[in-house]
Structure 1
Amino acid sequence: MTPDAVAPQAPTFPADWPAFGQGCSPLGDIFQEMGEPAARDLLETAWTGGIRYFDTAPWYGHGLSEHRLGGFLRQFDRRDFVLSTKVGRVYDPAPRGKDARINWAGGLNFAVRYDYSAAGFEAALTQSRLRLGLPVVDALVIHDLDRGYHGAAYDGHLRDLTDSGLAYLQDLRARGEIGAIGMGMNSTAEFAALAGEIDVDFFLVAIPYTLLDQDALDGPMATCLQRGIAIVIGAPFASGVLAAPRAPGIRYQYRPVTEEIRGKALAIEAVCARHGISLPGAALRFPLLHPAVVSVVPGVDGAAQLRANLDAMRPEPPHAMWAELKAAGLLRADAPTGG
């Protein structure tokens, strides 16, 4: 039976996943270096603010995010928080005298290699447990396996996943060593290609479903709902423009924002303001209105922005606001908005 023939069903996992989490890429110095005091302040603010779901990855600062997060979380009862990290990258010491750091403003000097096989996943998990200082993670996410990212190496990586990597993760889950298997998606095309093919518990969707772009509704979001696969939304601010559209140097989809996109974000902001809702508040709330979405996990660049996000999440946007956005052509007419 194809996914299209399956009756829609709400995701059964994870039933108790927190609706609001913390994406931890900034702890790895994603766009700017974050000193240790600022990193600690951010995590303390998150915990005090009630956040109990933290998502990290070896890729974030080449291990730095996991080191910082684990150092903080080790002081709490392991049953009191949910932790996910990722597999697909394994790290080796950088050759002496060489700076192997790539794609990050800072981070640790370790050299990355990609491996989506069972052996690669086992090595990645072992390294993550040691960096975190925590023997148990709640979920493992298959990280950045998309054609646009890997190019000619994609087919080999996908073959490694389907030949042995996914079975390894399923075995971990069956033994109770992890609670869930996820897969990260950065593009709508790759999300659509894999949503009906890969047997995971949830997709961690970083860009394809936000206030600025709902193209994923046309296929993969519906497929996940039909298959009972949960969705966690990462990057609900679309790399920043939905948090601060006027800020210089702001990004959209990890690139400098175009004036067209900035203009759309400002138009959305104006509608939200008429209803007493901030743009960040609307961006955080919107994905949760889709019945497949169980959580949003924004990354923030500091404690002040996190406090602003927590404040922005409190007012419930009125249905009239979503209706006005649809009427103005700023939101797809078929986007789920409750009411």
Structure 2
Amino acid sequence: MAKASDTVTFSAPNGGDIKFTAMGFGSACIGNYRRALTEEESDATLEAAWDSGLRYFDTAPFYGFTLAETRLGRLLACRPRDSFTLSTKVGRIMDPCSPDETDQSLYVGAADFIPRFDYSYAGVMRSYEESLARIGVDRVDILYVHDIDALVHGGRDAAVARTHQLFDEGGWRALSELRSSGDVRALGIGVNEWQPCALMLELADPDLFLLAGRYTLIETEPLTTLFPECEKRGVGIIIGGPYNSGILAGGDTYNYGDVPADIAETVSHLRSLCHRHQVTLPGAALQFVLAHPAVTSAIPGPMSAEEVLSNVSYMDEPIPAEFWADLKDAGVIPGNAPVPA
């Protein structure tokens, strides 16, 4: 059973070894996702992650419209650069705006910027350089192309068109140059669907995918559609959203919206099985995703120091083999799904 702070060494197909911790830190929440955090609350959350031994931090310009990168930079400023692994994202430019123009619907109290999609060579390079300045580092380890999926762009055809734009306008060439020069060590995409990852395997030479919410206790489609090819090519998977945005951790949202009836029924069944075996549902959710050999790290997005500590404790929770067997017998997870030993 992996502990949150266990070191996982990933050998990038197109580069060297990169060290992760089994649990990382997803920073969308410290960008004030749905709820404003004070600077003190954000700092305490990040400090709790560091003190718990977490050493992989993922961020993006979009989170809080630069707010998450800036806040994360305060934590990392006084840490040796080789003591942590850092990823951020490209694909959006943050254009300054007046306070009354800032969209507060997703990130409450976001910084005064308007995000604009840009997958061009110049856009990728600008986004990368601005992220370095905001975080206050001279390099990042991993760059993901952010949100190049149907959920964001309004349909599968639009997402595919955006992906081709990444190649036609030089965005992937910019990323490849950064990797070839050693400025970054690995490339990939950070998305909420598995289909864009499969397309990228056809079009390019990615090292890692950050897949949010699509491989969980209640969603396992990538088990047969994506993961086998990733294993064949040595492409790593980082799991974001292991709780499906809250429903698997006691929340009342599923993938950032209302909970459909069929999902509610599945989760109710899961809770019954957890109760029978005296297992917490969040503990089962975290340990399940990390059991797959293609998965390198899982990155929940805590909003407080208390949530950080809870996530760490879930990794230490003993879960009997009979629990996983019952999940398979009940058809909650597929019979071929890897589970913790």
TM-score by length of 2: 0.90
Q: Which residue of 1 aligns with 2:64?
A: 61
- After TM superposition, give the deviation of residue 101 of structure 1 in Å: 4.5
- After TM superposition, give the deviation of residue 155 of structure 1 in Å: 4.9
Aligned CA distance change for structure 1 residues 100 and 185 (closer, same or farther; 3 Å): closer
Aligned CA distance change for structure 1 residues 149 and 62 (closer, same or farther; 3 Å): same
Q: Which residue of 2 aligns with 1:4?
A: none
Taking the TM superposition and a 5 Å limit, the aligned residue runs for 1:142-181 are: 142-151=145-154, 154-163=159-168, 164-181=170-187
1:127 aligns with 2:126: no
Return the alpha-carbon distance in structure 2 between the equivalents of residues 44 and 136 of structure 1. 21
Q: Which residue of 1 aligns with 2:5?
A: none
| 1:54–1:84 Cα contact (<8 Å) kept | yes
| 2:193–2:214 Cα contact (<8 Å) kept | yes
> CA deviation digits over 1:93-134, x for unaligned, max 9?
115753345532221110111111111110101111111111
Q: Which residue of 2 aligns with 1:217?
A: 223
Return the alpha-carbon distance in structure 2 between the equivalents of residues 192 and 177 of structure 1. 26
> CA deviation digits over 1:191-232, x for unaligned, max 9?
444344332101100011000110111211111111211100
| 1:11–1:229 Cα contact (<8 Å) kept | no
Q: Which residue of 1 aligns with 2:206?
A: 200
Q: Which residue of 1 aligns with 2:337?
A: 335
Amino acid at match of 1:225: E
1:294 aligns with 2:296: yes
| 2:31–2:65 Cα contact (<8 Å) kept | yes
Query: Match of 1:255, SS?
Result: coil
TM-score by length of 1: 0.90
Taking the TM superposition and a 5 Å limit, the aligned residue runs for 1:88-107 are: 88-95=91-98, 97-101=100-104, 103-107=106-110
Gaps of 5+ in 2: 1-8
Q: Which residue of 1 aligns with 2:240?
A: 234
1:186 aligns with 2:192: yes
Which of 310, 319, 329 matches 1:317? 319
Return the alpha-carbon distance in structure 2 between the equivalents of residues 195 and 277 of structure 1. 37
Query: Match of 2:110, SS?
Result: coil
Q: Which residue of 2 aligns with 1:19?
A: 22
Amino acid at match of 2:192: N
Query: Match of 1:267, SS?
Result: helix
Amino acid at match of 2:254: Y
1:254 aligns with 2:264: no
Query: Match of 1:242, SS?
Result: helix
Amino acid at match of 1:159: H
Return the alpha-carbon distance in structure 2 between the equivalents of residues 182 and 281 of structure 1. 28
Amino acid at match of 1:219: T
Q: Which residue of 1 aligns with 2:141?
A: 138
Matched-pair identity in %: 37
Give the count of matched residue pairs.
Answer: 326
Return the alpha-carbon distance in structure 2 between the equivalents of residues 289 and 154 of structure 1. 30
Extract structure 1 runs of 4+ deviating beyond 6 A. Answer: none
Query: Match of 1:332, SS?
Result: coil
Aligned CA distance change for structure 1 residues 97 and 271 (closer, same or farther; 3 Å): closer
Return the alpha-carbon distance in structure 1 between the equivalents of residues 115 and 158 of structure 2. 15
Aligned CA distance change for structure 1 residues 69 and 11 (closer, same or farther; 3 Å): closer
Gaps of 5+ in 1: 1-9
Amino acid at match of 1:129: L
Amino acid at match of 2:282: P
| 2:10–2:236 Cα contact (<8 Å) kept | yes
Q: Which residue of 1 aligns with 2:281?
A: 279
Amino acid at match of 1:276: Q
| 1:41–1:303 Cα contact (<8 Å) kept | yes
- After TM superposition, give the deviation of residue 157 of structure 1 in Å: 2.8
> CA deviation digits over 1:172-205, x for unaligned, max 9?
1111111111211212333444344332101100
Query: Match of 2:323, SS?
Result: helix
Query: Match of 1:33, SS?
Result: coil
Amino acid at match of 1:201: D
